[in-house]
């Protein structure tokens, strides 16, 4: 039987208590990410309003580019939720959502490794949308004012490939480090 939490906390040295309490310094960071998410909601609504307002003026490609931009914003927002909720739960304090009907399924098995893998996969998704937007705009390749060059497309593809390789590496290392050792039960 373990002693009550208050008794365990009282038995910590002052330095240990300070170090453990320092996790609360992350609170403003998570609040800042919530503010950033509010900015993305505003950006999404602004882009959606522009799309609805000018739907009759845009051709299919312009609509597709705007919709891809909206998807990009949603994916970034999803990534923010994973980092805010998962990071807070892992590094600061429990949210106590056990009985909440809207508790995300992934939260029950979240740890720093899971957050890293989900973050890497989210970045790949965002990079994929950006690369797709570039490929859709590729017909303007080299056109004055288009901002699209062969070199730019090449570098974007290389960077996207590096994101994929990095995600595979992170996943591989996470699997190896979380695999049960010989003689251990899992």
pLDDT in tens, 131-186: 888 877 776 666 666 667 778 888 888 999 998 999 888 888 878 877 776 555 55
The yes-or-no verdict on residue 31 having pLDDT over 90 is: yes
Cα–Cα distance between 126 and 72 in angstroms, integer? 6
pTM of the model: 0.69
DSSP string of 110-137? Answer: --HHHHHHHHHHHHHHHHHHHHHHHHHG
Task: Provide the phi-psi class of 167: left if phi over 0, else alpha when psi is between -120 and 50, else beta.
Answer: alpha
Tokens standing for residue 74? 């949603």
For the chain, the C-alpha Rg in angstroms (whole number) is 22
């Amino acid at each position: 039987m373990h002693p009550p939490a208050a008794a365990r906390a009282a038995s910590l040295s002052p330095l240990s208590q300070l170090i453990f309490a320092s996790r609360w310094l992350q609170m403003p960071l998570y609040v800042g990410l919530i503010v950033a998410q509010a900015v993305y909601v505003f950006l999404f609504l602004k882009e959606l309003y522009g799309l609805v307002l000018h739907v009759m003026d845009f051709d299919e490609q312009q609509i597709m580019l705007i919709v891809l931009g909206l998807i990009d914003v949603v994916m970034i927002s999803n990534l923010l939720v994973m980092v805010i909720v998962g990071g807070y739960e892992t590094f600061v304090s429990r949210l106590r959502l056990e009985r909440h009907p809207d508790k995300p399924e992934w939260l029950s098995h979240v740890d720093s490794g899971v957050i890293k893998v989900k973050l890497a996969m989210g970045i790949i998704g965002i990079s994929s949308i950006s690369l797709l937007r570039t490929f859709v705009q590729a017909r303007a390749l080299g056109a004055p004012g288009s901002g699209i060059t062969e070199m730019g497309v090449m570098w974007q593809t290389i960077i996207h490939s590096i994101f994929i390789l990095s995600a595979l590496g992170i996943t591989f290392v996470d699997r190896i480090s979380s695999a049960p050792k010989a003689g251990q039960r899992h």
